[in-house]
Structure 1
Amino acid sequence: MTTDSTRDVRTDFPSGPLSGLRILDLGTFLAGPWALGILADQGAEVIKVEVPGTGDIVRYFGSERNGIGGLFHSINRGKKSIAVNVKDPRGLEIVRALARDCDVLLHNYRPGVAERLGLAYADIEKINPQIVYLHVTGFGEIGPYSHKRAYDAIIQAFSGYSMSMLNEQDEPANSYHIVADKVTALTASQAICTALLARERGAGGQEVRLSMADSCLQFLWVDAQGTVGFLEPGAIEKTMPMQRGLTPMKFKNGWAHVQPVSDAEFASYCRTFGIEIAEDPRLNSIAGRNQHPEEVQKVLDRIETMATEMNIDQAIAALEAGDVPCAKAQNMAELADHPQAKVMQSFVESNHPIAGRMREPRSAARFTGTPNISPRSSAELGRDTDEILEGLGMGDQVEALRADNVIQ
């Protein structure tokens, strides 16, 4: 993709809305690489640079088949893989040559590492002033925690996420999932596209700095801020309706979440279980329920007791008929077979050359004018090294570079 801000606007997008973009991925694990995996799903050409021998450590996490990890595949599907030792001057020159012709470069080195390698923004800007350069850190590039190691659970604790998950004993807890990394990845993908749009409007290239801590803070603050955001006295603490302590309801043969919020929903919820509250001012309005929580709890206890004797599918059908927000708790296999997921084509099947047939979610956003391409396979380590070097005019050096363990 040319970086001339005055170029004609493209009207053909044969391979997704981001076709023509070229991105260099120097990231590891999830926060950086999944951001670019999202963009690869949308048509961008993403070249993933990995360490010869081991590659990205995330290759070895999670479920796998024939040596292909499901986690790695989901993060890196559709990317090319080149294995290069960037600590060798010849390897560094390969990466710099790639950066010279890319629209975006992303890395999540700790502060100071890119500078020591010669891959800092100041270095890359000299050879490609139009590049969008994204640096993902744990806590930020400055400050007392800037060099502190950061993993998902650490960021959850630091950002307030763990304390926002207090259980009934007021003990903090972390999400079972790598939420800090994933929130950062989503924020990064949005930031990249914003910087590209700014470049398109004549702003030129720029460095974008993003920390996992800031990403999680922004994500969490909206509904977890409490009264902290009000700096003047007199703020009143109000719990978000039915959030803290909200747990699935047990039925005779399964579990479901039921979340009536409005007055009409709560009345219909009670009516489904044979309880009429229309004439009870303590229960028929949110104001009344806020003033009489003990009466609300009595009703909820009655409903939960009745639910244990009910068939979950019949109960869900009755709740849906009354327009009560509800959903059966499902595992991934059940979700893939659900009629709604099938109608939406939420899952697609592909053939991985090593792992075999695979099922995975399609890209969540659906573009009507520039459709995404179907998910492509993740690459085995160094699969595209030779092809990429050929494209750089270095095909005659491949044998020597491999013999010296500069590439794989």
Structure 2
Amino acid sequence: MAGPLSSLKVLDFSTLLPGPYATMLLADMGAEVLRVEAPDRMDLTRVMPPHDGGVSTAHGYLNRGKHSIALNLKEEANVERIKALVAEFDVVVEQFRPGVMDRLGIGYEVLRSINPRLIYCSITGYGQTGPYRDKAGHDINYLSLAGVSSHCGRAERGPPPMGIQIADVAGGSHHAVMGILAAVIHRQQSGEGQYVDISMTDAAFALNAMSGAACLAGGQEQRPESSLLNGGSFYDYYQTSDGRWLSVGSLEPQFSSRLCETLGLDEMKSFALSQNPEHQKTLKQAISGAIATRTLEQWRKVFANRDACVEPVLSIAEAAEHPQMQARDMVIMVDRGDGTAQRQIGFPIKFEKTACHAGWVGRTLGADNDDYL
């Protein structure tokens, strides 16, 4: 069955991670996505190691299910080709700095004069307005300016470099998809397209959620290891005897009671419910000492049938083999186009009526020039 977005056509001018991740989600949901790339300025994800079957794994994943054309947009004839294409498309996604698309002659005002129903989404680090609109940045910078890094990590060591690109993906990619689909609904009601301005810094700032609410309305600034959820309580990670880690999220009374019973810390059940920092510190030390006495595998067996919100910290390879991930089809095989398939992360949303399909791995540059041009 076709995905829920099978009627949507997307023209994608983005590169690297935020835009391609967003349009991959749209493609997985059935949209026809056409990437427009420069023939002489290769997207770095096309060559980024490691490689599988001669293709970058990053490119194979981020650009699955998409078509590709190669055009030098500094040539007037190619700009005219884009103008001809845009009349048939619903959405444009671009990730240049503000003003670049205008200078190329395919900015929002030009393209909407051709297609008034066009939804035009720009993803940038700082948005189209404000004093930082023209500055360069990366995920670590957006998280820093948005206040996210200030309350992550350990008090004595400062903020950690995150293992995933939070501002790029949870910020830019997901908010871009949300904005595009909201604009699609508006167009269905009004017949009008519109411009969607996505700032990865704005989106990262919005991710502060509870800590942001506490600061802005309650005047309470959160610092590392100062609150219930960022290391200020026994809600934390603990090292096992073999150097692995367990996550303990046993916040509610029924879970914390079960945790203490399992670890032989019955006398500390009241500490788990206490807001006294000294009680929490004492409980954390006790939990740490108890967990350090056994291996990760031993603890997995202990907690396997105890509903206590305690789980192992798995590597990505281990997570991919976990029965829960397998049951949810979160590891799939995607067609390479040569009779073989590549193992990839699956689509995380499950639709009852319109199942999603990953299509094929990222195509070679300009593979679809003949079909679209």
Tell me whether the two structures share a fold, i.e. TM-score over 0.5: yes
CA shift, 1:355, in A, is 11
What are the ranges of 5 or more consecutive residues in structure 2 without an aligned counterpart? none
Change (3 A) 1:161 1:60: farther
- Secondary structure, aligned partner of 2:3: coil
Bigger mean CA offset, 170-179 vs 196-205: 170-179
CA shift, 1:236, in A, is 8.8
Matching residue's letter, 2:253: D
Looking at structure 1, the residues matched to 358 and 15 of structure 2 have their Cα atoms a distance apart, in angstroms, of 24
Deviations 1:165-222 (A, max 9, x none): 2422152333132221112101101111110011111251111111111111111x20
Match of 1:332 in 2: 316
Match of 1:175 in 2: 162
Change (3 A) 1:332 1:375: farther
Matching residue's letter, 2:300: I
Looking at structure 1, the residues matched to 157 and 229 of structure 2 have their Cα atoms a distance apart, in angstroms, of 17
CA shift, 1:354, in A, is 6.7
Match of 1:349 in 2: 333
| 2:234 is the alignment partner of 1:249 | no
Match of 1:3 in 2: none
Match of 2:262 in 1: 272
Matched residue count: 367
CA shift, 1:265, in A, is 1.3
Deviations 1:78-112 (A, max 9, x none): 10000000110011111111111100011112111
Runs of 4+ in structure 1 off by over 4 angstroms are 235-239
Bigger mean CA offset, 349-358 vs 360-369: 349-358
Match of 2:78 in 1: 91
Contact 1:139 1:146 in 2 (8 A): yes
Contact 2:14 2:96 in 1 (8 A): yes
Deviations 1:324-347 (A, max 9, x none): 101111112111211222222221
CA shift, 1:140, in A, is 1.6
Match of 2:282 in 1: 298
What are the ranges of 5 or more consecutive residues in structure 1 without an aligned counterpart? 1-13, 390-408
- Secondary structure, aligned partner of 2:35: strand
* Pick aligned residue for 1:185 from 173, 196, 216: 173
Change (3 A) 1:355 1:68: farther
Contact 1:223 1:240 in 2 (8 A): no
Contact 1:48 1:80 in 2 (8 A): yes
Match of 1:210 in 2: 198
Change (3 A) 1:344 1:195: same
| 2:152 is the alignment partner of 1:158 | no
> CA-atom RMSD, angstroms?
2.3
Contact 1:251 1:307 in 2 (8 A): yes
- Secondary structure, aligned partner of 2:69: strand
Change (3 A) 1:67 1:155: farther
Percent identity, aligned pairs only, is 27
Match of 1:224 in 2: 211
Matches within 5 A, 1:6-405: 14-169=1-156, 171-183=158-170, 184-219=172-207, 221-225=208-212, 227-230=214-217, 239-244=226-231, 247-253=236-242, 254-277=244-267, 282-283=270-271, 286=273, 289-291=274-276, 293-353=277-337, 356-389=340-373
Change (3 A) 1:177 1:374: closer
Bigger mean CA offset, 209-218 vs 175-184: 175-184
Matching residue's letter, 1:37: M
Contact 2:236 2:248 in 1 (8 A): no
Looking at structure 2, the residues matched to 346 and 129 of structure 1 have their Cα atoms a distance apart, in angstroms, of 38
Contact 1:165 1:174 in 2 (8 A): no
CA shift, 1:274, in A, is 1.4
Matching residue's letter, 2:189: R
Looking at structure 1, the residues matched to 11 and 153 of structure 2 have their Cα atoms a distance apart, in angstroms, of 40
- Secondary structure, aligned partner of 1:225: helix
Match of 1:8 in 2: none
CA shift, 1:251, in A, is 1.8
Matching residue's letter, 1:364: P
CA shift, 1:40, in A, is 0.1
Looking at structure 2, the residues matched to 61 and 327 of structure 1 have their Cα atoms a distance apart, in angstroms, of 33
TM-score, normalised to structure 2, is 0.91
| Greater gyration radius | 1
CA shift, 1:48, in A, is 0.1
CA shift, 1:66, in A, is 3.9
Contact 1:24 1:105 in 2 (8 A): yes
CA shift, 1:297, in A, is 2.7
Looking at structure 1, the residues matched to 287 and 125 of structure 2 have their Cα atoms a distance apart, in angstroms, of 45
